[in-house]
Amino acid sequence: MKPIYLDNNATTAVVPEVREEMLPYLGELYGNPSSMHTFGGQLFRKIEEARAKVAALIGAEVEEIIFTSCGTESDNTAIMSALESFPERRHIVTTRVEHPAVLNFCKHLSRKGFRVTFLPVDSSGRLDRDAFVKSLDDGTAVVSIMYANNETGVVFPVREIGEILRERKILFHTDAVQAVGKIPIDVKDLPVDMLSLSGHKLHAPKGIGALYVRRRTRFYPYIIGGHQERGRRAGTENVASIIGLGKACELAQENFARETDQVSRLRDRLETALLAECPDATVNGDTVHRLPNTTNISFEYVEGEAILLRLDEQGICASSGSACSSGSLEPSHVLRSMGTPFTAIHGSIRFSLSRYTTDAEIDRVIEVLPPTIRELRTISPFARKKVICPK
Ligand code: PLP
């Protein structure tokens, strides 16, 4: 049975058009794009075509796109490049709600002796602007703040942040892995120096990403070796996946307006119905500045894992901010940073839709979930005693 897949912030399906485009490069066209002969060399042109498609989706110049192995590599590369560019500056500013690709890398750098400020957010997951401005000093090499949060969908004020940083001449990197293809981004008109994206969040395969680096931004490669990617990222290119990413970006651009309208309509319908049918349910995060495809809902007095298991039995895929199910033993650091009560974190479920989500699928979730919550509440230990959040 085909699952009802509402976990698109975790990963997305590789769509048939993307797969088709990739297949020859996993078969007969196996050459090395750096080769002198035509058999390999012809692939170089295909990579450049894909680069142009990625660039077009975010309004970049073709040479401003570097292919990487994933969003994580793009994030690590951007931060490291800034630190290498300004060796006299030892300070990094980021937020407490970043994806581990930034958060854990910054913790690692802090252990290596760099000074890192982890900025707080308010109860709706929005950046504390004053704390941000106060955090900047002459030693700040780079600010890395996500475009949109993967758990709540909250969108950060990237333009405002960038304008402040441009005035202060501080490099700005944004992790736009969850934003690209979901909301309009035009780097021509946006004061960011570096921006990360990842293929598997926009219907391309896993294991391919890209980093946008604005022209004339000082750049140091993170992966060092051969001359690929104009000397900015060594390693023989993942040709098939690069071509897949190019196709996925082209599709995202072609279908953008129509599909985001449809996705947000379905998301809103799901959210409204669940809030109406389930007492003691609340949406986590700002609902105005939010991705069109994401809703994160806390169902008090139930454990998220129990909800997920019941949904799974019905072929419905979602994810939770509570222990274990998200692959970690910690409750969501994002919801904790927002000051969400412990019981609400443990009952939180994230639904993330895609342009392939249908009305019938949303109807099914609306039919299945409210009775499940009612039933779980009759047996949940959270329903009977108040649990205090450990610090
Ligand atoms: N940044 C954000 C906001 C993400 O959601 C993810 C993946 O979930 C990443 C970075 C990491 O991307 P990748 O899985 O391609 O390394």
Please state, in angstroms and as integers, the Cα–Cα distance from residue 360 to each residue in 258, 318, 357, 364, following that order.
Answer: 19, 16, 9, 6
- Helix or strand run (H / E) with residue 299: strand 294-299
The residue out of 202, 226, 254 marking a domain boundary is: 254
Does 174 share its domain with 92?
A: yes
Nearest CA to ligand 1 atom 5: 150
Pocket test for ligand 1, best of 201, 211, 238, 332 (most atoms within 8 A of CB): 201
Residue 102's closest CA among 81, 132, 127, 71? Answer: 71
Residue 212's closest CA among 153, 266, 152, 171? Answer: 171
Rounded CA-CA distance 301/313 in Å is 21
Q: What share of the chain is helix, strand, coil (3-state, %, to 5)?
A: 45, 15, 40
Provide residues with CB under 6 Å of ligand 1.
Answer: 70-72, 75, 99, 101, 146, 150, 175, 177-178, 198, 200, 209
Contact predicate 247/340, CB 8 Å: no
Query: Has residue 187 been placed in a domain?
Result: yes
Contact predicate 308/349, CB 8 Å: yes
> How many structural domains compose the chain?
2
The residue out of 221, 254, 287 marking a domain boundary is: 254
Rounded CA-CA distance 263/258 in Å is 9
Does 267 share its domain with 365?
A: yes
Does 78 share its domain with 224?
A: yes
Query: Has residue 250 been placed in a domain?
Result: yes
Q: Which of 249, 278, 324, 389 is catalytic?
A: 324
CATH number of the domain within which 120 lies: 3.40.640.10
pLDDT at 386: 46
Does 226 share its domain with 134?
A: yes
Query: Has residue 126 been placed in a domain?
Result: yes
Query: Has residue 391 been placed in a domain?
Result: no
Does 328 share its domain with 242?
A: no
Question: Which pTM does this prediction carry?
Answer: 0.96
Strand partners, 65: 212
141 in helix, strand or coil?
A: strand
How many other C-beta atoms are found inside a 10 Å radius of the C-beta of residue 359?
Answer: 11
The residue out of 224, 254, 284 marking a domain boundary is: 254
* Amino acid, single-letter form, for residue 93: V
- Ramachandran angles phi, psi of 180, nearest 5°: -65, 130
In angstroms, what is the span from residue 390 Cα to ligand 1's centroid?
A: 28
Does 282 share its domain with 362?
A: yes
Atom of ligand 1 at shortest distance to CA of 200?
15
pLDDT in tens, 116-132: 999 999 999 999 999 99
pLDDT at 388: 38
Query: Has residue 389 been placed in a domain?
Result: no
Does 151 share its domain with 187?
A: yes
pLDDT at 327: 56
Please state, in angstroms and as integers, the Cα–Cα distance from residue 106 to each residue in 77, 103, 144, 254, 284, following that order.
Answer: 12, 5, 10, 36, 25
Does 85 share its domain with 61?
A: yes
Query: Has residue 385 been placed in a domain?
Result: no
Does 222 share its domain with 277?
A: no
Q: Is the dihedral of CA 111, 103, 318, 12 positive or negative?
A: negative
Does 260 share its domain with 351?
A: yes
Pocket test for ligand 1, best of 72, 158, 202, 241 (most atoms within 8 A of CB): 72
- Per run of 10 residues, the mean pLDDT along the chain (length 391 residues) is 95 98 98 96 97 98 98 98 97 98 98 98 96 98 98 98 98 98 97 98 98 98 97 98 98 90 97 97 98 97 94 97 57 96 94 97 98 92 49 35
pLDDT in tens, 352-391: 999 999 999 999 999 999 999 999 999 876 655 444 333 3
Rounded CA-CA distance 30/216 in Å is 34
Separation of first and last alpha carbons in the chain: 43
Atom of ligand 1 at shortest distance to CA of 70?
15
User: In the annotation, is 324 catalytic?
Assistant: yes
Rounded CA-CA distance 300/334 in Å is 18
Does 37 share its domain with 155?
A: yes
Query: Has residue 390 been placed in a domain?
Result: no
In angstroms, what is the span from residue 252 Cα to ligand 1's centroid?
A: 18
Query: Has residue 368 been placed in a domain?
Result: yes
Atom of ligand 1 at shortest distance to CA of 146?
3
In angstroms, what is the span from residue 387 Cα to ligand 1's centroid?
A: 32
Rounded CA-CA distance 371/307 in Å is 11
In angstroms, what is the span from residue 279 Cα to ligand 1's centroid?
A: 33
CATH number of the domain within which 361 lies: 3.90.1150.10
Nearest CA to ligand 1 atom 14: 71
Containing domain of residue 244, as a range? 16-254
Widest CA span of the chain, in angstroms? 72
* Amino acid, single-letter form, for residue 25: Y
Rounded CA-CA distance 299/375 in Å is 12
* Residue partners of 143: CB distance under 8 A and separation at least 6: 92, 93, 94, 136, 161, 165, 170, 171, 172, 173
How many other C-beta atoms are found inside a 10 Å radius of the C-beta of residue 377?
Answer: 19
Does 269 share its domain with 209?
A: no
Contact predicate 82/76, CB 8 Å: no
Atom of ligand 1 at shortest distance to CA of 199?
15
In angstroms, what is the span from residue 36 Cα to ligand 1's centroid?
A: 35
Rounded CA-CA distance 250/240 in Å is 15
